[in-house]
Amino acid sequence: MAPPRYTARDLVFIALMAAAGIAIKPLIVPVIRVVAVPLGLPGGSLVGGLYMMWLILGHAFTGKPWAATLVAVVQAILAWMSGVPGPQGPWMLVMYLAPGMAADLVLRLNPGSATATALSPGAAMLAGAAANATGIALMCLIVYRIPLPVLALSMAVGAVSGSAGGVLACAIYRRVAQIAGQAHGG
């Protein structure tokens, strides 16, 4: 199978989704720490769906395979360039890349999500859950080194949050597509 051909439009959407994902983090992190820290959970387990939503939107707006992974790579580059590597340090690329790959694998395995127009809420939900659970697992194992029961709880909460983010991404995409269709007389 030939690699996907990304248009300039696709690359713009990938860059926009990555930038939006990075821009939202500083707004959400302080609020989440108030809730997550007392519970002993990584903040991403509670609101990681909002971060993973951008990966799903990257796929939705381009309809191209591996677009979520490209969004994740651009996010890692933006975070590194902005001087905000976070607690991941040199693991940053892996920590960003793995959730994008998890989302893309789910979307690739779901025959109904091969194109953006066919993205179902179920596929988006599963992709968001896989992305966030993957990110939480890596964060917990590499950075926090937390005990297995807390890891399992964090991943479960993260999967629920990721599912919500995937459904939200699907709803946002459909609404934008509806508005664009109306603007073009469709």
More confidently predicted of 158 and 143: 158
Whole-prediction pTM value?
Answer: 0.88
163 has a pLDDT exceeding 60: yes
* Confidence tier at 84 by pLDDT (50, 70, 90): low
The whole-angstrom separation of Cα 57 and Cα 61 is 6
85 has a pLDDT exceeding 90: no
145 has a pLDDT exceeding 90: no
Worst-scoring range by mean pLDDT, 16-20, 122-126, 144-148, 161-165?
A: 144-148
What local confidence, expressed as pLDDT, does residue 131 receive? 97
* Confidence tier at 118 by pLDDT (50, 70, 90): low
Q: How far, CA to CA in Å, does 65 sit from each of 59, 60, 80, 82?
A: 7, 10, 25, 28
* Confidence tier at 111 by pLDDT (50, 70, 90): low
What local confidence, expressed as pLDDT, does residue 98 receive? 97
Domains and CATH numbers, the chain: 8-33+42-183 (1.10.1760.20)
159 has a pLDDT exceeding 90: yes
What local confidence, expressed as pLDDT, does residue 17 receive? 97
> Using a CB cutoff of 8 Å and minimum separation of 24, what contacts does 12-16 make?
13/58, 13/61, 13/62, 14/58, 14/62, 14/67, 14/70, 14/71, 14/74, 15/74
Mean pLDDT of all residues in 158-176: 95
